[in-house]
Amino acid sequence: MTSPGDPVTGVQRDDRRGAFRLLFFALLAVGAGNTMLVSAILPPLSRDLGLPDWMAGAIFSLSAAIWTITSSFWGRKSNEWGRRPVAAMGMLGFSVSMLLFGTFAALAMAGFIEGAIFIFICLLCSRTLFGLFGSGTNPAAQAYIADRTSREKRTEEIASLTSGFSFGAVAGPAFAAAAGAVFGILTPVFLISAIAAVLAFLIFTRLPENTAPRKEAGLKKGGKREGDGLWRDPRVLPFLIFAVCLSIVTGVLTQTFAFAIMDKIEVDGAAAMQFTGPAYTVGAAGTLISQLVIIPRLKMTNRTLMVMGALTLSVGAFLIVPTREFAVLVLAQFFVGIGQGLARPGFSSGASLAVGSSLQGNVAGLVISANGMGFIVSPFFGPWMYENVHPHAPFIGAGVMLLAMAVFARRVFPANQVILDDPDEQADLYD
């Protein structure tokens, strides 16, 4: 017996849930792969290869800059080409990028690639490929969910989807630490590359997409197309500002925490993964608690999610400053995990609800671009300040910024978000 059709799309609910799960695991793989590189693998790898700490952040920074530019492009293209091919292409680009990164790193460790600058360029090029093509999966997946959910359920469904990325972001370093300690530091890189390739194949062949892609709208008044200037929409811009700020502070905390562990616990190289792994595992548990318990049970508004997420993250940032105790550092990661799990669905679903159905790909691309934008500058506020200003500076700065973000969200966003029913009325806001 089949399940009844979905009231929004007419798609069988069993098929829809299977599609949502596939995209959940795709975003989980992307989140895990990115953060395990920057948090668990790059810090000890860079020191083993003789690279300065700032290079580890810079490798991620250029990829984030390209991600920021291309995410909005792929979000728009998913309107025209369909969500499925764009999401599959993104996973394939991610897979190839991880494969090249692992190969270059292995050659450098074996002595076949020498010189800090040359090693840096090789690793940077592999991450650039991810920024160019791997950025397609996130906006296409978020738009796919928005296409197939009612407005009443969209916050919960997008929260479930983005929890995949958030959970992967905190679970990835734990996975890398466990696998790296047993099989070698680069084993997780090659494994996640293989997983991403399988997911790309499954998305392209199994993801149902019964709605035909929409052709790009023609030129409107002033030579603009539908969606041009959407980032200036007063209903969208505040969410993008919050997203950029959140990406800066999470980038700082993610990129700097491993260095803090190594210096506070006085371990180095691959041995540090034995400490970062359990800490990030607890952070992953915090994200799961946010997504599986707090959000479904408490039914918080988008504004409340952002305020509480920022405040909880600030607790984690400030806890890192005074302590050298490993247990307290683990507790800090727990608060970081909960905070990310609350804040990210808040602005993602809020931006989606602010626009009509024809602009879901556009707004998803903008949100994903904003997510990556902060990582362009976070190496300066994170690893560089840690190494050249003071080890406490990145965490104090992140904590203060998070408090300011909580105030911003409390004052700017309405208690109950107003949603326009007429897509044409939405378009008039940014024409």
pLDDT of residue 61: 76
Give the Cα separation of 377 and 382 in Å (integer): 9
Tell whether the model's pLDDT for residue 14 goes beyond 60. no
pLDDT of residue 426: 39
Tell whether the model's pLDDT for residue 347 goes beyond 90. no
Q: What are 53-89's pLDDT values in tens digits?
A: 677 767 777 887 888 888 888 888 888 888 899 999 9
Q: What are 242-292's pLDDT values in tens digits?
A: 999 998 998 888 778 878 888 888 876 566 667 777 787 788 788 878 877
pLDDT of residue 261: 84
Q: What are 121-172's pLDDT values in tens digits?
A: 898 899 888 888 988 898 888 888 878 877 667 766 776 776 777 677 767 7
Selected residue with higher pLDDT from 205 and 2: 205
pLDDT of residue 213: 53
pTM (two decimals):
0.70
Q: Which long-range contacts (CB under 8 A, 24 or more apart) does 118-127 make?
A: 119/49, 119/51, 120/51, 120/55, 120/58, 120/59, 123/59, 124/58, 124/59, 124/62, 124/63, 125/100, 126/97, 126/98, 126/100, 126/101, 127/37, 127/59, 127/60, 127/62, 127/63, 127/97, 127/101
Which CATH code fits 13-209+229-430? 1.20.1250.20
